[in-house]
Amino acid sequence: MSKIARIAQAHGHRLQLQERIVRGIAADLMQVSGSPDVAVTASGTHSCMSARGVRETGAVTTSTRTHGAFTAKGPLASLFLSLTAKGAR
């Protein structure tokens, strides 16, 4: 578990798009685990939306990346999507 936190922290410290962060975390997890079956989701509030432009406070953007067994419409994909939709931790 600590390796997952380190991977996420390493990607989160770089200035980049949320989608690229999620893609990079998924790629690193596949490399470290040696498994093609990886799913990553990230939700974030973006201060630029509340400070500039539409000034929408509390806007949350969610990005998801799936590979392997998680991309098929099977039980793993359904489980992952149901857990992430509910905000389960």
Q: Say if residue 49's pLDDT is above 60.
A: yes
Asked whether the beta carbons of 43 and 61 are under 8 A apart, the reply is: yes
Q: What are phi and psi of 9, to 5 degrees?
A: -65, -40
pTM: 0.80
Asked whether the beta carbons of 29 and 40 are under 8 A apart, the reply is: yes
What is the share, in percent, of the chain residues with pLDDT greater than 70? Answer: 85
pLDDT tens digits for range 32-42:
999 999 999 99
Q: Mean pLDDT over residues 66-73, rounded?
A: 88
